[in-house]
Structure 1
């Protein structure tokens, strides 16, 4: 995989908090949108998502809103994070898709939360704080906040972006690091957080800004998308899921002005790849075939990105977080196969 390097077991995490990177998050999400659809040269089917509701408006304090991390709770609500919400305004929200009521779940003074997923072990909601360099968990009601992991890992502060759980409750996290073009070497990482001890180890380093992360249907490999190079890698784990034994670039995404953001996987193994810079979802088969492009209606102006996806487990109801100068929205489309726990958030 070119400059990428896989790492076995490494040292634990040192304490400390890496702050001051919210501007980098905002910079990532401020690119120009392209209005044209891009099914690509393979002429994949294009389907149009339908708007469900507007969740947020642009914040005066930050000049933007960016919805991410959709995940369904046991109460049936769709939980979301607003990455650029300022201090005191809702940073984690829950949407009742039937009544279209939006409720505040959690906020704080400094966090910039980029993803969310419920643990299969303790039922708590886990949040990646990109700005604070930490992972936080709260109850489904937003109470009892706990810092699960923070600080420096092998000499560098984390910038956790997306996360995925295995069945044992261990977390697999993309550790973002932008690669200034064209001179700098990639510095992103894929991390593992032990569900029992909270110990953080590095599974892969020298990665070109990893963002989305999802398990395949067998649970023995990860699909990791890289924002800076528009590609999706497949990383195969060992039997204990403590190291990567092999990996390769599996899918190249022709994004144009758009970049590969978060992703999800359905029960048939299809990969749903969110895009930043164009409001659409690319869907690929596990063999790399571009099956479908999910687009936003052309008349829905002021939307730049469709960054993340959740498929309600046991159904084909798929929901995307879509954001831009018009605000933050939830859109719905039909998935190609049913959702599983792994399809739900990250």
Structure 2
């Protein structure tokens, strides 16, 4: 059976240098996404079409909702709580505070509501770093604990089951399935989906209700859907090359939202680099997991 090909359309045209971190928040009816190099948090309310943008004083690497319209960010400084009503940022836990040449990148909450995000260098050469998990302490605060090391560009995460983690370290051009204990380090490696023969490099990722993986491909002008066995099932084509993250949203989780980046592209070519895209009805997604808070 040949893979199906469909096309995405523009949902919001802002030209972000590095759009990322799409997340549907069912509690507020918002589709959140971020501009990493743009230092912006954005959200779309599809019910009204309203788009809001907040400027930050740091680069956000990922975003997950918390409560009361607050969101938890992974930034250059570590984990920080953003009040979207006021724009105020509050530190939650420092990460690599003495390593200013690094920043946090893509992340997600695990099935227990704990946020995981990795760090990466700002420039070449790539210096390997860890994936951190935000965990509670006995004192009622949280701390960032490394759970997987040796990562160059930490990106997509997805849990098909509570004890299994799909993970992407982009330069490997693989999607790796790890054992995921409730406590302790990630691993061991169980198996791998090799994407080296496909155009582009795997970046952000999400799961649908059937357990299929939807993966954004940086430099590949596409989101590709893989079955759990690695079979390529479907391709969503985009009119821009740098495709970065994916999230199912809308009240029925039937809209696939896709972020992109303008970095490294020609601003005069007339293409919608850095825009937010959507594709309707390709599958039904799974609800995203918000941060459970300091007690998770």
Bin for the TM-score computed over the shorter chain: 0.7 to 0.9
Is 2:206 the partner of 1:264?
A: yes
Deviations 1:309-333 (A, max 9, x none): 1112642211111333444322212
Paired with 1:267 and 1:335, the residues of 2 have a C-alpha distance of 11
Aligned to 1:39: none
Aligned to 1:50: 9
Q: How does 1:65-144 map to 2 (within 5 A)?
A: 65-73=17-25, 74-85=27-38, 91-104=40-53, 106-109=54-57, 111-119=58-66, 124-129=70-75, 132-144=76-88
Whether the 8 Å CA contact 2:94–2:144 is kept in 1: the answer is no
Distance 1:213 1:306, change over 3 A: same
Deviations 1:203-262 (A, max 9, x none): 11123432112222x222221111112111112122x33322421442111366622111
Whether the 8 Å CA contact 1:174–1:213 is kept in 2: the answer is no
Aligned to 2:294: none
Identify, as 1 or 2, the structure richer in strand. Answer: 2
Q: Secondary structure at the match of 1:116?
A: strand
Aligned to 1:304: 241
Q: What's the TM-score once normalised by structure 2's chain length?
A: 0.81
Q: How does 1:235-250 map to 2 (within 5 A)?
A: 235-238=178-181, 240-250=182-192
Deviations 1:181-219 (A, max 9, x none): 8xx8x7132221114532222211123432112222x22
Match of 1:222 among 165, 179, 187: 165
Q: How does 1:169-180 map to 2 (within 5 A)?
A: 169-177=113-121
Deviations 1:120-158 (A, max 9, x none): x786311221xx2412111343544211222428x8676
CA RMSD of aligned residues (A): 3.0
Q: Secondary structure at the match of 2:256?
A: strand
Paired with 2:207 and 2:86, the residues of 1 have a C-alpha distance of 27
Shift of 1:43: 4.6
Distance 1:262 1:76, change over 3 A: same
Paired with 1:142 and 1:85, the residues of 2 have a C-alpha distance of 19
Unmatched tracts of structure 1, length 5 or more = 1-41, 59-64
Unmatched tracts of structure 2, length 5 or more = 292-296
Distance 1:342 1:45, change over 3 A: farther
Q: Secondary structure at the match of 1:199?
A: strand
Distance 1:236 1:294, change over 3 A: same
Paired with 1:97 and 1:116, the residues of 2 have a C-alpha distance of 19
Shift of 1:167: 4.2
Paired with 1:336 and 1:50, the residues of 2 have a C-alpha distance of 16
Distance 1:138 1:146, change over 3 A: same
Distance 1:323 1:235, change over 3 A: same
Paired with 1:214 and 1:77, the residues of 2 have a C-alpha distance of 21
Q: What's the TM-score once normalised by structure 1's chain length?
A: 0.70
Q: Secondary structure at the match of 2:275?
A: strand
Aligned to 2:255: 317
Is 2:132 the partner of 1:194?
A: no
Paired with 2:122 and 2:261, the residues of 1 have a C-alpha distance of 21
Paired with 2:243 and 2:132, the residues of 1 have a C-alpha distance of 25
Distance 1:179 1:328, change over 3 A: closer
Shift of 1:159: 2.8
